A = this chain, B = another copy of it.
Amino acid sequence: MGMVKGRAVSAPRASVWLTDAAARTRTRRSEQPSGLDRERITAATVRLLDREGLARFSMRRLAGELKVTAMSVYWYVDTKEDLLELALDAVVGELTVGPEGLEGDWRQRLRELARAYRAMMVRHPWVAPLMGSYLNIGPCSQAFSRRMRAVLHDSGLGAKEQLGALSAVFRFVYGFGAIEGNVIRRCRAAGHTQDEYYREAMGSMARRPEFVESFGDTEELFGPEGMGGGVAEMRERDFAFALDLLVTGIEAMARETAAT
């Protein structure tokens, strides 16, 4: 318990998922007048975040969406942060592609999981900043992590290396999804397509001598050839390449493990 400017501040919990069971049972136990419960609130949160983005999300707006007073929500959820953590785990729940992922070549399974993760981050551009802000230990996050560990178990890496690779894969995919989700968010805010946005930025840069000096001939890198079929495809190629890099790296490290 600390004091900030005379206001009592209790140390924040690490995560909603670590609150005691009693607090978590604030789910519907009878027919509420408003029909509210945690699930419904979380769903509305996801809907609102998808529609208007993280910056415009507020407890008051959420309450409006639920046709209820802002303060009603606080009966089910302690803070805005907790609510966002719930929303985060909810969309990670979309990644349950089914248990068929448990067989087949580990390379292909890793590619599939990575692609699904990235696709989710692109579908929900507000996920990236949140993912970086929480512990990600909700039930759905854990289920996904378990699947990824199963894949790496089959890679031929040693037990210690599997943990290292798990962390590498996650941060790697996160890095991609975060940047990408962000550009999407910005474009949406500006009301442009990604290609327009990119062209505008490139145009502004080309008109500035420092930038040309720095990038050399920008046409070479970002012109029709370099860009191929637009920004989306360029990023697709980048991601595919990065995935190759990852798989190739794991294979090579696994050979080292096997050799010793």
Contacts and interface: CB of A to CB of B under 8 A. Distances in A.
Given A129-B132, A133-B182, A182-B133, A14 B164 contact: no
Taking residues whose C-beta sits less than 8 angstroms from the other chain, chain A's interface range is 35 or more
Given A129-B132, A132-B129, A171-B172, A18 B205 contact: yes
Contacts of A12: 186, 189-190
A138 to B, nearest CB: 10
A201 B249 contact: no
Contacts of A215: 142
A219 B226 CA distance: 50
18 contacts: A14-B186, A14-B190, A18-B204, A18-B205, A129-B129, A132-B132, A132-B179, A137-B201, A139-B210, A163-B238, A164-B237, A164-B241, A165-B245, A171-B242, A174-B179, A244-B253, A245-B253, A251-B252
Interface of A: 2, 11-12, 14-15, 18, 128-129, 132-133, 135, 137, 139, 142-143, 146, 161, 163-165, 167-168, 170-176, 178-179, 182, 186, 189-192, 197, 200-201, 204-205, 210-211, 214-215, 221, 226, 237-238, 241-242, 244-246, 248-253
The 9 lowest CB-CB distance pairs between A and B, nearest first, are A249-B249, A171-B175, A175-B175, A164-B241, A168-B242, A245-B249, A18-B204, A167-B238, A174-B175
A252 B252 CA distance: 8
A14 B187 CA distance: 9
Contacts of A128: 132
A174 to B, nearest CB: 5
B242 A11 contact: no
A254 B93 CA distance: 38
B178 A132 contact: yes
B214 A146 contact: yes
A161 B143 CA distance: 34
